[in-house]
């Protein structure tokens, strides 16, 4: 296939051989880990800054405004100016806060999203880790982030922060069930939890089309539940400004506030990457059975472009949710999960299992 020319496995193996030739195996491994860490740190920062800018522009477009337009062309450097401002801000210390937990909480939140995104395959051979339980790993690691949110709210010694943290805990724990069941539905179709094998299974046709109606239902539930799990509107009750000032991060300032802010956008990016990988074929091009000329042309588009393009579409859908629908009440939010999404998901898993058992998947 034509997209094999974009296989990064050869490049990574060449770097590994080069490092092992010039140094001992131990130091070669250490050097590789440092390179991967630096690349992910740079990628994390760039994606976070871009998403903040994109959200402001999309919000402005939906609300018939211009958005950022002062710093740089079309306001492109506005988020960089904001980052510099946050780095230079004084860190305000809360007198009666639990200092250790108060300082540790932002790092827990940002480290969990960093660990989760390391398992995402951006192209063939372009991933840090390829676990045979990749879906389970991401669900397990990403769920640790709620601990950082609960610690931030409790350790701040602020009633608004505590209420925001408790809301977030209830919301994330509830909607994690729907996210997990949606992914399980697709694991049943794929027959594996390893991302590389799931993407390979979508070489001829993406799972969103292969899985018939259950795959479409799983995708819709996943997008709704994923939006809620990242505390984004219209599910942003944990940081409802009109009620709780800024929610669980009310008492944070400077770089610590920036950690929470960045983690929210990276979690949104992670949700979009998972949707792309599991439902939309990951870095695989669009193939239509019988359209050989069309498929051949699609193969020449680099897989990284396919992956980023699909991810951007999902991110736009999530942002569109936030700036279109009004914020739900807490009872409406939990009713949506426990009375509607969860039963639909449970039935959907059984339906997908029946389709796979009967061999009806495309």
DSSP state of 283: T
Q: Is 83 among the domain residues?
A: no
User: How does pLDDT run along the chain (362 residues), one tens digit per residue?
Assistant: 444 557 788 888 888 899 988 888 889 989 988 998 898 888 888 898 889 999 999 999 998 898 888 888 888 898 889 888 888 888 888 888 888 998 899 999 889 988 888 889 988 878 888 888 889 999 999 888 889 888 988 898 888 888 888 888 888 888 999 999 999 999 999 999 999 899 988 888 899 998 889 999 999 999 999 998 888 878 877 666 555 566 777 888 888 888 888 888 999 999 999 999 999 988 888 888 878 888 888 888 888 899 999 999 999 999 998 888 888 888 888 899 999 999 999 999 999 999 999 888 76
Please name the residues in contact with 191: beta carbons below 8 A apart, sequence gap of 6 or more.
201, 356
- Are residues 60 and 95 both part of a single domain? no
- Are residues 134 and 23 both part of a single domain? no
- Are residues 194 and 235 both part of a single domain? yes
Q: Is 340 among the domain residues?
A: yes
- Are residues 123 and 183 both part of a single domain? yes
- Are residues 19 and 154 both part of a single domain? no
> Token pair for residue 46?
């760039």
Q: Which candidate, 187, 208, 106, places its Cα nearest to that of 139?
A: 187
Instruction: Please give the tally of structural domains in the chain.
Output: 2
Find the helix or strand (DSSP H, E) in which 187 lies: helix 159-190
- Are residues 39 and 97 both part of a single domain? no
- Are residues 47 and 121 both part of a single domain? no
Q: Is 337 among the domain residues?
A: yes
How many whole angstroms separate alpha carbon 149 and alpha carbon 167? 10
How many whole angstroms separate alpha carbon 25 and alpha carbon 72? 46
Q: Is 84 among the domain residues?
A: no
Q: Is 290 among the domain residues?
A: yes
- Are residues 38 and 109 both part of a single domain? no
Handedness of CA 121, 299, 314, 362 (dihedral sign): negative
- Are residues 119 and 44 both part of a single domain? no
DSSP 43-88: HHHHHHHHHHHHHHHHHHHHTT-----SSSGGGTTHHHHHHHHHHH
Domain that holds residue 175: 89-358
How many whole angstroms separate alpha carbon 282 and alpha carbon 285? 8
DSSP 148-184: HHHHHHHHTT-HHHHHHHHHHHHHHHHHHHHHHHHHH
- Are residues 314 and 198 both part of a single domain? yes
Q: Is 69 among the domain residues?
A: no
Q: Which candidate, 151, 144, 146, places its Cα nearest to that of 171?
A: 146
- Are residues 23 and 93 both part of a single domain? no
> Is the separation of the CB atoms in 146 and 263 below 8 Å?
no
- Are residues 42 and 110 both part of a single domain? no
């Amino acid at each position: 296939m034509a997209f094999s020319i974009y296989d990064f496995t050869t490049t990574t193996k060449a770097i590994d051989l080069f490092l092992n030739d010039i140094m001992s195996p131990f130091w070669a491994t250490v050097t590789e880990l440092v390179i991967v860490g630096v690349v992910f740190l740079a990628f994390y920062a760039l994606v976070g800054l871009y998403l903040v800018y994109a959200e402001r522009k999309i919000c402005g477009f939906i609300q018939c405004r211009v958005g950022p337009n002062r710093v740089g062309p079309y306001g492109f450097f506005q988020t960089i100016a904001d980052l510099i401002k946050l780095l230079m801000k004084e860190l305000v210390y809360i007198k009666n806060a639990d200092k250790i937990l108060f300082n540790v909480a932002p790092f827990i939140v940002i480290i969990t999203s960093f660990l989760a995104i390391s398992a995402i395959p951006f192209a063939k051979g372009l991933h840090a880790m390829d676990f045979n339980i990749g879906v389970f790993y991401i669900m397990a690691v990403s769920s640790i982030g709620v601990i950082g949110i609960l610690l931030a709210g409790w350790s701040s010694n602020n009633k608004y922060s505590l209420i925001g943290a408790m809301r977030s805990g209830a919301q994330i724990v509830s909607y994690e069930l729907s996210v997990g069941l949606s992914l399980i539905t697709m694991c049943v179709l794929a027959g594996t939890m390893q991302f590389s094998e799931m993407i390979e299974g979508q070489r001829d046709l993406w799972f969103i089309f292969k899985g018939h109606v259950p795959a479409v239902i799983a995708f819709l539930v996943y997008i709704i539940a994923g939006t809620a799990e990242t505390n984004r509107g219209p599910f942003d009750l944990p940081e409802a400004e009109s009620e709780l000032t800024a929610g669980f991060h009310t008492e944070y300032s400077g770089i610590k506030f920036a950690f929470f802010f960045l983690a929210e956008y990276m979690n949104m990016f992670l949700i979009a990457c998972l949707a792309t990988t599991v439902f939309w074929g990951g870095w695989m091009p669009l193939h239509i059975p019988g359209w050989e000329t069309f498929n051949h042309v699609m193969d020449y588009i680099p897989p990284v472009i396919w992956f980023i393009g699909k991810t951007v579409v999902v991110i736009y859908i999530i942002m569109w949710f936030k700036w279109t629908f009004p914020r739900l009440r807490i009872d409406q939010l939990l009713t949506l999960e426990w009375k509607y999404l969860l039963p639909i998901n449970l039935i959907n898993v059984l339906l997908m299992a029946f389709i796979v058992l009967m061999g009806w998947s495309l």
